[in-house]
Chain A
Amino acid sequence: MTETVPFEKIGSGRYRIPRHGKMRVDALFYASKEILAGLETEEFASLRQLINVACLPGIVEPALAMPDIHWGYGFPIGGVAAFDAASEGVVSPGGVGYDINCGVRLLASGLDRSDLGAHKKALADALYRLIPAGVGSKRRGEHLAPKELRRLLEQGAAWMVGKGFGDEADLRYLESGGVFANANPDTVSPRALERGAAQLGTLGSGNHFLEVQLVDRIFDRKAAEALGLHLDQITVLIHTGSRGLGHQVCSDYVGTFLKAAPRYGIDLPDRQLAAAPIESSEGEAYLGAMAASANFAFANRQRITASVRAAFEEIGFSPRDHGLRVVYDLAHNNAKFETHRGKKLLVHRKGATRAFGPGHAELPQDYLNVGQPVFVPGDMGRYSFVLVGTDTAMRETFGSSCHGAGRKMSRHRAKREARKRNLIEELGEQGILIRAASRATVDEEMPEAYKDVADVVDVVDTAGIGKKVARLRPLIVVKG
């Protein structure tokens, strides 16, 4: 029989798991009745993972899970945990995940639905051709020499802009300016470099995607105006990360930390939570490698942005016509030093995003009054949301919010269900053009495999840890 998980409702959409057993702090999670029912169906496996996180040394109360929580490996997806180096706090590669600094970037265009009109199919084809997706995909003639790759790992998105892929203005609208300053390429293994070198500027597969979308609802006119969004506008959302380079860095350091943890007396409730003190040689090496991977991810999304612009231009829209500009780029798998409650903490977000409130010093000047943009992709058949961060998030969640819909169906089951249908045709009938490297990826990402992202976003909005601004409906979906 499965052990029960004790929790209590403490407010609108908020639940607390009181400290018990080996937990060092309380855990807090956000859910609706429907989300709670989903957690129960999986016998609270993801809440057990959250409890495991609350057992790690140096964790600062509370261990958190966003409403898109689902069963991950080690940390639950949707998990947020802050650690204090001064209290022997740890860093855990499993708390960041394999796809280091995976994230989403929203581009807003100067085009409306009517401008795209008859060009839609040509745009879908151009995007699919210009942005490599799927296994073994690479950009011809863009294989980086080791010295160049090293510079990229140090400089992030700025390196790409320096090579002519984008504008200086883009960098102002990237989380942390598109660079982790503490990157140390020397701590990245040769195998990780090999995996990454060929994959720069590629989308990958799984849940990664590129969507051309339509702004179909505005919830907060003032915030939408500040972000430059209006009804009927065409936008582009890019979701990808650090590709094989980040995956390998995580694998390498989980192995290292599994050996190191016993030396530091760290009791691991789950091996995938392998951890080492922030201020240890292993911890510092991982943070340097993680930062280098994060910079790879920023550069990857910057390169893809240049290809998106090129695709619009190829089908006849001049740069002045399409006017594609970066609204924001934010990550949902990383660990960052941030100041909360007057302390410098290392905040792990795995399948969770920053959601800094108005006035935060790291926000672009234009967004200071409304808060940091938060993008919450849904499934490819419904919609995605734009939110902004809030003061409540700064107080309650270390300035964090949700990152997506969260799966409710396993990939195996989704493929079984989708086999009976022609999803590409069904979505086409709804006006959504799909371009994908494999049917399998489309099948396992079928809309019904995900929770309705609107439910997730409503919990966030009601709890006040994010504020709804706009809804985006997919028109073209490119997948690996």
Chain B
Amino acid sequence: MKRVVELMNEKRHLGIYPLDHTGDVGFDLEAESLNELFEAAMIALLRAIFTLPPEQVVWNLDIQLEATTLETLFVQWLDELLFLTQTRNSVPVRCTPEVHPQPGGWRLSASLGTAPLEPEKQGWQGELKATTYHDLTIGKREGAWHARIIFDV
């Protein structure tokens, strides 16, 4: 598993483009696979919250999520990471999300390595309240996966 900072720096194409939303914070995302798109979403979330996200894993946990639509699964994934970061003080460092269709919807399994929240050391930028459905898109076009996500600040 790669750490977030490695994913941020490596050459592999993970497109993370901030949106110029007046009130809130949003991103356009692009990745070669659906799993990588979920990784890219995690990195975008961490970029919105930290300038120096943690590099050393202290805890490991597994996440299992299910939803009837891919959009809902995407929002649930990001809300889960927000909850871990802002309520449980457990900041994602690396992850391997695996997203699969299943009867009646979609499923995500992820191993997540996390580290304690240390706002000053990690360059805390401010709280995010939630992941919104506003202008949310997720889909495949021209051979790549794309998503747009807006967080409420």
Q: Which A residues between 378 and 434 are near B, CB-CB below 8 angstroms?
A: 407-413
Binary B-proximity of A265-291 (CB < 8 A = 1, otherwise 0)? 000001110100000000000000000
Asked if A222 lies at the interface with its beta carbon under 8 angstroms from chain B, I say no
B residues less than 8 Å from A411 (CB atoms): 21, 24-25, 153
Q: Which of B23, B51, B119 contacts A70 (CB 8 A)?
A: B23
The reply to whether B119 and A72 form a contact with Cβ atoms under 8 Å apart is no
Binds A, one of B6-14, B30-38, B128-136: B128-136
Binds A, one of B53-61, B79-87, B95-103: B79-87
For the complex, give the distance between the alpha carbons of A253 and B46 in Å. Answer: 25
Q: How far is the CB of B58 from chain A (nearest CB, A)?
A: 16
The reply to whether A198 and B87 form a contact with Cβ atoms under 8 Å apart is yes
Asked if A74 lies at the interface with its beta carbon under 8 angstroms from chain B, I say yes
Asked if B111 lies at the interface with its beta carbon under 8 angstroms from chain A, I say no
Asked if B109 lies at the interface with its beta carbon under 8 angstroms from chain A, I say no
Asked if B124 lies at the interface with its beta carbon under 8 angstroms from chain A, I say yes
A residues less than 8 Å from B72 (CB atoms): 255, 258
Q: How many residues of B contact A (CB 8 A)?
A: 37
The reply to whether A440 and B133 form a contact with Cβ atoms under 8 Å apart is no
The reply to whether B130 and A98 form a contact with Cβ atoms under 8 Å apart is yes
For the complex, give the distance between the alpha carbons of A438 and B126 in Å. Answer: 7
Q: Which of B25, B68, B133 contacts A272 (CB 8 A)?
A: B133
A residues less than 8 Å from B21 (CB atoms): 71, 410-411
Asked if A21 lies at the interface with its beta carbon under 8 angstroms from chain B, I say no
Q: How far is the CB of B19 from chain A (nearest CB, A)?
A: 8
The reply to whether A206 and B125 form a contact with Cβ atoms under 8 Å apart is no
Question: Interface residues of B: mostly helix, strand, loop or mixed?
Answer: loop
Q: How far is the CB of B22 from chain A (nearest CB, A)?
A: 5
Check A438/B119 contact, CB under 8 A, given A206-B127, A271-B134, A480-B126. Answer: yes
The reply to whether A98 and B152 form a contact with Cβ atoms under 8 Å apart is yes
Q: Which of A134, A270, A274, A412 contacts B25 (CB 8 A)?
A: A412
Binary A-proximity of B123-153 (CB < 8 A = 1, otherwise 0)? 1111101111111100000000000001011
Asked if B117 lies at the interface with its beta carbon under 8 angstroms from chain A, I say yes
Asked if A77 lies at the interface with its beta carbon under 8 angstroms from chain B, I say yes
Q: How far is the CB of A136 from chain B (nearest CB, A)?
A: 6
Q: How far is the CB of B89 from chain A (nearest CB, A)?
A: 6
Q: How far is the CB of B10 from chain A (nearest CB, A)?
A: 23
The reply to whether A98 and B126 form a contact with Cβ atoms under 8 Å apart is no
Closest to A443 in B: B125
> Which of B23, B25, B76, B136 lies at the interface centre, i.e. has the most chain A CB atoms within 10 A of its CB?
B23
Asked if A205 lies at the interface with its beta carbon under 8 angstroms from chain B, I say yes
Q: Which of A99, A136, A270 contacts B134 (CB 8 A)?
A: A270
For the complex, give the distance between the alpha carbons of A198 and B72 in Å. Answer: 27
Check A259/B68 contact, CB under 8 A, given A73-B132, A194-B87, A270-B134. Answer: yes
For the complex, give the distance between the alpha carbons of A413 and B23 in Å. Answer: 11
The reply to whether B71 and A407 form a contact with Cβ atoms under 8 Å apart is no
Q: Can you sample 10 A-B contacts with CB below 8 Å?
A: A72-B23, A73-B24, A73-B132, A73-B152, A98-B132, A136-B89, A206-B126, A438-B124, A441-B125, A444-B126
The list of the 10 closest CB pairs from A to B, nearest first, reads A73-B134, A271-B133, A272-B134, A440-B125, A73-B132, A247-B129, A98-B129, A205-B126, A205-B127, A410-B20
Interface residues of B (CB under 8 A from A): 18-25, 51, 68, 71-72, 75-76, 79, 83, 86-87, 89, 117, 119, 123-127, 129-136, 150, 152-153
Beyond A42-B22, A258-B72, 10 additional contacts (C-beta under 8 Å) are: A73-B152, A94-B134, A191-B83, A248-B83, A258-B133, A271-B71, A407-B23, A440-B124, A440-B125, A440-B126
